Structure 1
Amino acid sequence: MTLRRRRLGMLLATCAAFGPARRAAAAESLRLEELMARFAAIPERRASFRETRTFAALDQPLESTGTLLYRRPAYLEKDTDWPQRERLVVDGMRLTETLGDAPPRVLDLGSRPEVATLVEAIRGPLSGDLDALRRVFDVRLAGAWGDWTLDLLPRAEAARLLRSVRLDGAGTVVRRFLLTQPNGDAQQMLIAPAA
């Protein structure tokens, strides 16, 4: 095969990958209701994460890695494997936390609305439940299908716990969560779909 044919083949492959249909999909305007409906249609998500927490009281950020699992309608599991094992499971209104080999601690989210707000900041968008999100947050979406940003700005009581929540994604894939507290402490989670 000649060099010219190889270049032509590579050019055709590139054009196919980034052809008019793909460019149009990336440029199409995205509506909040449409994004939430597509999220609601996904029965289960698995992903890996790298989390960085910054605190005003600490000089260095705290980092961790692990896996996430979301299953409709209200199951969320966060398994941290580094630097120490930790497992958080939210099933409906029940949160179970297990640190290393210690016995699990169980918390009823109905009795701890501040913790429930933090849980819903993550679980709410994944469930696609826009009505539930709007009860706690002003919800704003910017961008197009191939690259969007969802901002959750807390209302009333929730504003004591959170300054903002930002999700960045593409299509139905969430790539980043950023939770910022009123004192400036922040939790950023970079997410990659599980292999």
Structure 2
Amino acid sequence: MTRPSPRRARGLLCGIGLLLLGLNPAARAAQFTVGELMAALADTTHGTASFTEHKYISMLDLPVESSGELLFVPPARLEKRTLTPKVETMVLDGDTLTIERRAQKTVFQLRDYPEVAGMILGIRATLAGDRKELERVYQLDLEGSRERWTLVLTPLDGRMTRVVARIRMEGTREEVRTVEIQLTDGDRSVMSIRKKGSP
């Protein structure tokens, strides 16, 4: 049997390595970093998006469905307008959360509700591409490629971990398409988002 020259052997090994890299999803995912995702999200032009949300609650046999519109105005204003089944508006502006339904308005300061604040701020910080804010509250785990990625946020704060187990987001390029919030009691919500003009 003829032994290949050292140069040819190195070439064969490199070729095999590249082949394995191409077959290994985890290796491909490593090429798309949290920094790249955050930069893409920060650079995108935000507008109005439609959403459909399903809430899975242990005491109910069927999920609760709602739909409406989302609007994010960087860096700190996030609006969620629920149109069905009941009209409700939630506006997060800075650290103030305002909820309005049936002509009744309630105002909260997020600092007074840290376990809820982290959940809401995590979503807003992701849309803004604010990695520093996210890493202050969460451990970030990213899988996939630029074309199809999954970002999992695991809370670090003890008060928040009593309520939220994790937040899982899926998207393509600079668009967040799905937000799933898993609570520690087993309840969860799944929101599908479609930016206007997206396929």
TM-score above 0.5 = yes
Determine the C-alpha separation between the residues in 1 that align with 2:29 and 2:149. 11
Residue 44 (structure 1) shift = 2.4
The answer for unaligned runs of 5 or more in structure 2 is 1-27
Residues 1-195 of structure 1 mapped to structure 2, 5 A cutoff: 29-99=31-101, 101-155=102-156, 156-195=158-197
More moved, 104-113 vs 83-92: 104-113
Structure with bigger gyration radius: 2
Answer whether contact 1:149 1:169 (CA < 8 A) is retained: yes
Answer whether contact 1:43 1:71 (CA < 8 A) is retained: no
Residue 55 (structure 1) shift = 0.7
Aligned-residue identity in percent: 37
For 1:118, the aligned partner's letter is: M
Determine the C-alpha separation between the residues in 1 that align with 2:128 and 2:94. 12
Determine the C-alpha separation between the residues in 2 that align with 1:91 and 1:164. 23
Instruction: Calculate the TM-score normalised by the size of structure 1.
Output: 0.82
Determine the C-alpha separation between the residues in 1 that align with 2:193 and 2:174. 13
Residue in 2 that maps onto 1:14: none
The answer for unaligned runs of 5 or more in structure 1 is 1-25
Secondary structure of 2:32 counterpart: coil
Question: How many pairs align?
Answer: 169
Secondary structure of 2:191 counterpart: strand
Moved over 4 A (4+): none
Determine the C-alpha separation between the residues in 2 that align with 1:56 and 1:50. 20
Instruction: Calculate the TM-score normalised by the size of structure 2.
Output: 0.81
